């Protein structure tokens, strides 16, 4: 990323994942700050 004053910042995008207490994926936050969430219905295993 290059700022208006010419300073260059090196950064690597990071994707973060969130899990519930049973280990199921329930959220994802990508390197651009976009959040994706899922809801698991009670009594389901998926």
* 16-28: pLDDT as tens digits: 999 999 899 999 9
Which residue range forms the structural domain that includes residue 23? 13-40
Q: How many independent structural domains does the chain possess?
A: 1
- In angstroms, the CA 6 to CA 3 distance is 5
> Which pLDDT score is estimated for 18?
96
> Which pLDDT score is estimated for 22?
87
Place of tokens 């295993």: 45
Report if residue 27 sits inside a domain: yes
**Structure pTM?**
0.60
Instruction: List the helix and strand counts (H, then E) for the chain.
Output: 0, 3
N- to C-terminal Cα separation, the chain: 39
Sheet holding 25-29, edge to edge: 16-19, 25-29, 35-37
Report if residue 5 sits inside a domain: no
> Which pLDDT score is estimated for 42?
79
φ, ψ for residue 9, nearest 5 deg: -110, 130
């Amino acid at each position: 990323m290059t700022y208006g004053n010419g300073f260059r910042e090196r950064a690597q995008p990071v994707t973060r994942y969130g899990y519930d207490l049973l280990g199921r994926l329930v959220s994802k936050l990508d390197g651009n700050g976009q959040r994706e969430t899922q809801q698991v219905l009670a009594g389901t295993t998926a």
